[in-house]
A and B are shown apart, each in its own frame.
Chain A
């Protein structure tokens, strides 16, 4: 374990604003695992909402601020596959900071991959006796390859399952469509509202019909969308970020 490494906690803007508990769970989980974590207070957003809407060129200021905020850390960890993918793939080049930006791409990790690949967590002690359905958010799944993708001919793996399987009593529920998109898609959720909601309903139905009690995932954006639909339709599902499950289980 890299106990003497400096870890910068990157909390995506909407998590900061709407999901305080997910930020706390991520921080506490990393601390319990022996990490020295600090949260650079000046951080804002990664720039993804603007870039995916077609305005990557207007995110230079945002991207520069991100690099300057996190340049001095050994690792950067975020409870979001989507924002991490954005930093790696779509942050515009910052003149004069190219070296820092390049090294950032190797230092930034989504939470579950940081736990499995850097900390090499193999022996979590904890219990969480619930039937859990995992929503593989597309940017983490196909973008960061946090799990094997159903389209590809590759051996099965899932970084989330690798962690959740260590928790006593937790039942990982297999879904009918293992990695179909939930329909959030950033501005897509609003510009293509009808489709977005239909996709979300279909995902929820899959979890419900397999008897899932708690729907979890690595990205609150997908969960915010799914939870919003489930609540509106009074569907009996609970929603937790994977950091919340792990942190709660091992406390």
Chain B
């Protein structure tokens, strides 16, 4: 289904759609408030953007340096060219350790690679330990937001779900009660897992360490109890130096949720004695995107989700309307790079209002890239009815006389057509909106009479 169809479905439940809009607006508002307590906020964004420019321009060198340092620290580094190779590498490590159950903290990359179904197919139980992720996992749903995976659900939904899955009291919607039940449930899973998987927020080339940011501490809990830690990392997550974290960590949580900092920013450098750390460096289309001059900046993304919270479309259509792993504005410029046909409606799911670009902590020109993807998509689609009408339109606007004649016809038609035709199903504008009244003369006509 296309974005417009799914968005219109989402809006059917008007009360819930309004709640969704207001909930995410609340998060954006918190972000606005806290970002304005930092006088150098715009300077920080600029710095972050430039550091990422440097990373993208020298990605090969930074990656090799990162591998070298990490290896020297005792970490085992793997390279995966695509999702399949990534999944095979992870499965191989699990099989070597005869591991049948793992815990995983939030990682959009493993969603992108569809790791969960792959491992489950191979007889491995996967438990997502981020509370929101565990909720959507129970429901067999993907996350609907990259930072707030279960934001499309209300307390009542969670209460019903936990009653079914965790045998909590029926009808008890108290968040503290429900969270406590999840905590007890997850504790068991943490204790039983020999291998823990995490994502990576930042890989530091200078030191070979990597940083994982969570609010719930679930990444740390999983990793410290397990013998083996597998960290899955997109190759664009590199930053040059440890001190660059002073820029990115200040921006990340403030942009994401309006907090000063994520509760846990854990640095992993060397495995403890007798334990293992693996890093899987994944390309999966990233070098292709890097080669696209107009779109490579999308790789600067630090996955804060601010563009989703601010997007008037996302707030009113929900994450699932996009049908992509990463929804919202950033998803709409990343996804067409993976499959231009499948995601062809996404760059059009925007008014090009530019709010996404202005909240982005690394200054990705998101709305400009949406515009550029539109140009690419219409090219890829070739000649169709719409492209022909555009050529005709250009013919009209390039020739003043043709424009005048057409304009007069258009106005004439509106004046004389009965409302039953003007407002029929064929006229989508008129379904829920009145058309402007047609004036008796155009400005051009008026000007000729009154000024020349």
Quote the shortest CB–CB distance from B195 to chain A (angstroms).
Answer: 41
Quote the shortest CB–CB distance from B11 to chain A (angstroms).
Answer: 5
Q: Of A55, A56, A151, which is within 8 A of B310 by CB?
A: A151
Question: Measured between alpha carbons, how far is A51 from B7 in the docked complex, in Å?
Answer: 24
At the interface, yes or no: B218 with Cβ under 8 Å from chain A? no
- Of the stretches A105-113, A124-132, A221-229, A242-250, the one at the interface is A221-229
Chain A residues whose C-beta falls within 8 Å of the C-beta of B386 in the assembled complex: 53
**B contacts with A, residue count (CB < 8 A):** 73
Quote the shortest CB–CB distance from A199 to chain B (angstroms).
Answer: 6
Chain B residues whose C-beta falls within 8 Å of the C-beta of A43 in the assembled complex: 400
Q: Could you tell me if B443 and A53 are in contact, using CB atoms closer than 8 angstroms? A: no
Q: Could you tell me if B410 and A232 are in contact, using CB atoms closer than 8 angstroms? A: no
Chain A residues whose C-beta falls within 8 Å of the C-beta of B446 in the assembled complex: 20, 23-24
At the interface, yes or no: B141 with Cβ under 8 Å from chain A? no
At the interface, yes or no: A11 with Cβ under 8 Å from chain B? yes
Chain A residues whose C-beta falls within 8 Å of the C-beta of B42 in the assembled complex: 152-154
Looking at chain A's contact residues, the main secondary structure is helix
* Category for how many chain A residues contact B: 35 or more
Q: Could you tell me if A185 and B436 are in contact, using CB atoms closer than 8 angstroms? A: no
Chain A residues whose C-beta falls within 8 Å of the C-beta of B434 in the assembled complex: 227-229, 231-232
Chain A residues whose C-beta falls within 8 Å of the C-beta of B292 in the assembled complex: none
Q: Of B38, B355, B397, which is within 8 A of A44 by CB?
A: B397
Chain A residues whose C-beta falls within 8 Å of the C-beta of B394 in the assembled complex: 47, 50, 55, 58-62
Chain B residues whose C-beta falls within 8 Å of the C-beta of A228 in the assembled complex: 429, 433-436
Chain A residues whose C-beta falls within 8 Å of the C-beta of B180 in the assembled complex: none
Quote the shortest CB–CB distance from B311 to chain A (angstroms).
Answer: 9
Q: Could you tell me if B352 and A52 are in contact, using CB atoms closer than 8 angstroms? A: yes
Q: Of A139, A184, A194, which is within 8 A of B8 by CB?
A: A194
Quote the shortest CB–CB distance from B368 to chain A (angstroms).
Answer: 8
**Residues of B with Cβ closer than 8 Å to A?**
3-4, 7-8, 11, 17, 21, 25, 32, 35-36, 38-39, 41-42, 310, 312-313, 316-317, 348-355, 357-359, 371, 374-375, 377-379, 386-387, 390-391, 393-400, 403, 407, 410-411, 428-429, 431-436, 438-439, 441-448, 451-452
**Residues of A with Cβ closer than 8 Å to B?**
11, 13, 15-24, 27, 38-39, 41-45, 47, 49-62, 64-65, 90, 138-139, 142-143, 149-154, 177, 180-181, 183-200, 202, 224-225, 227-229, 231-232
Complex A-B: 24 CB contacts under 8 Å: A20-B445, A24-B443, A38-B451, A44-B398, A44-B399, A44-B403, A53-B374, A53-B386, A53-B390, A57-B375, A57-B379, A59-B397, A61-B394, A138-B354, A139-B354, A143-B354, A152-B42, A188-B348, A188-B350, A198-B316, A199-B312, A225-B433, A228-B429, A228-B436
